[in-house]
Amino acid sequence: MMKIYHRGFTLIEIMIVIAALLVVMALFMPVLSRIREASYSTQCASNLRQLGKAFQQYESDWNGYWPSPGGLVGDRSYWSQSGNGGLYPYVKQRGLRSVWCCPLLREWHGRFPPRSYSMNSYLRTCYSPSQPQPIPDMEYPDCIKHLCGIHTSNICEPHKTILLFEGMQRTREFEDVAYTEDQVFYIYRCANWTWVKGFRPGVLHTIGSGSPWHGRRNNYLYCDGHVVLREPARWNGLTQLASWSEMYEWYVDKRRFRNKFPKLVGP
């Protein structure tokens, strides 16, 4: 009777197969990583578009006015707050996996709901909460004392004016106020280019301040509702000013901006 022998794999053959698989994995891992990062960026852009639609709904209900980027404690016109003011009645989701957060924001501590987006601080009826001085050549509502947001008719170039952006995550709330938590993660409710993640490295009490959210780029929502994924401005090591073209997209009153920075070279 003939015997049939079944030859198995030798150790060398197994090692060759494993080595080949490792090479294939090494080749495909960067591709998979880019695909995953692209999906995060796409989801982030979708979140911003949904928030942009909420701004449009708010505008329709409030006779053309938007909520304020920020204001005084207790003010109900903030665009984002823990109460029911601002956009909260229009965006029911909450939490790390809601439209308020980029998918890359995986951890949040503190007394405020998680949020990775900030509003352009210039979209208000005054310069700052501490100095509510009206901006020249603009019309204002009766609620200026409550720091209402801007009337959309005063945004002369909405397609070139930033509305929301991906902010820089801090480990302290507000102006370095100490709280009982061991570590607080917070993103300013409103700011300009200086608090965009990627603008300046080495900022105290921040997480990766020099690295944009999506590789070398961040998502920006503009006042007309479109979203752009682009590189942020970079700190020049001397002043907090950015390039002319970058700052142009933050200032609402473009004429005032040109008059204020006549020496900066435009695009």
- Asked if residue 7 is part of any domain, the answer here is no
Residue 47 lies in a domain: no
121 found inside a domain: yes
Dump pLDDT digits (tens) for 159-216.
999 999 999 988 876 655 555 455 667 899 899 999 999 999 999 888 999 999 999 9
Three-state SS for 66-125 is CCECCCCCCCCCECCCCCCCCCCCCCCCCCCCCCCCCCCCCCCCCCCCCCCEEEECCCEC
Is there a domain that residue 13 lies in? no
Q: What distance lies between CA 96 and its chain's CA centroid?
A: 14
Domain span at 152 = 52-260
Task: Please indicate, yes or no, if residue 227 is contained in any of the structural domains.
Answer: yes
What rounded mean pLDDT belongs to the chain? 80
Q: What percent of the chain has pLDDT over 90?
A: 40
Say how many domains are in the chain.
1
Query: In this structure, is residue 60 part of a structural domain?
Result: yes
Which residue would you say has higher pLDDT here, 205 or 17? Answer: 205
For residues 179 and 214, the answer to whether their CB atoms sit within 8 Å is no
The residue count of the chain comes to 267
In-domain check, residue 178: yes
The DSSP code for 215 is: T
Q: Is residue 20 part of a domain?
A: no
Q: Which of 190, 185, 188 shows the shortest CA–CA distance to 105?
A: 185
Compute how many other C-beta atoms are within 10 angstroms of the C-beta atom of residue 228.
Answer: 14
What is the C-alpha to C-alpha distance for residues 160 and 166, in angstroms, rounded to an integer?
Answer: 17
